[in-house]
Amino acid sequence: MILDYKDLNEMDRYKVMSDTIIPRPIAWIVTEDNGILNAAPFSYFIPISSDPALVIVAIGNKSDGTPKDTLANILKTKKATICFVNKDNLEQMKKCAKELKKEESEIEQFEIEVETKLEGYPPMISSSQSALFCKYYSKVELPSQTSPIILEIKKEFVEDARIDYDSHIFLDNIGRSGLTFKAMVQI
């Protein structure tokens, strides 16, 4: 089957792309504004360069058309902490996908434990095995309600037990890996 993207509405294009460009890591992004911590998952997230160390995350709008808190907070504070999801925090991450008011914190509402690992950056989710401490780099302007944000990784936390000092880092990250065929047929 050939799918012509001009014949698909935005949501259907999103579903097709999400289900075929896989796997992708989930960026569980912690931001802060006026003392309120926001934690939200994004699966449109990838590395784009190692020199400089850059990642890109596509952030949509809330259902009312206003920018998601993550986007507003990054543009205001120029900082974000990207945590990675594993089997121990998967259910908490899923709860954070729920849309809350700007003055409500997913961290507080869903009782997610966080810890400050690096001063000057939002805290990381304690159950994450790794976290990226990032600064705003740039925003890609698109004629849509999605704002791709490029972040520069300044520092990274990795649990000591996850590092094989001879060669690699071994994490139990969970990523977006698509839906079942049944869900695809409903498009």
CATH number for the domain including 54? 2.30.110.10
pTM of the model: 0.86
Q: Radius of gyration (Cα) for the chain, nearest Å?
A: 17
The string of pLDDT tens digits covering residues 18-73 is 766 767 889 999 999 999 999 999 988 999 988 899 999 999 999 898 999 999 99
Report if residue 1 sits inside a domain: no
The string of pLDDT tens digits covering residues 66-113 is 999 999 999 999 999 999 999 999 999 999 999 999 999 999 999 999
Separation CA 113–CA 108 (nearest Å): 9
Contact 68, 9 (CB under 8 A): no
Provide the number of structural domains found in the chain: 1
Report if residue 181 sits inside a domain: no
Phi, psi of 66 (to 5 degrees): -80, 155
Separation CA 58–CA 70 (nearest Å): 11
Q: Establish whether the linkage from the previous residue to 25 is cis, with ω within 30° of 0.
A: no
Contact 109, 37 (CB under 8 A): no
Report if residue 149 sits inside a domain: yes
* 57 three-class SS: strand
Report if residue 158 sits inside a domain: yes
Q: Which residues contact 24 (CB under 8 A, 6 or more apart)?
A: 43, 44, 45, 46, 175, 176
> What is the residue range of 93's domain?
25-176
Report if residue 107 sits inside a domain: yes
Contact 104, 160 (CB under 8 A): no
Q: Establish whether the linkage from the previous residue to 23 is cis, with ω within 30° of 0.
A: yes
Separation CA 109–CA 177 (nearest Å): 27
Report if residue 33 sits inside a domain: yes
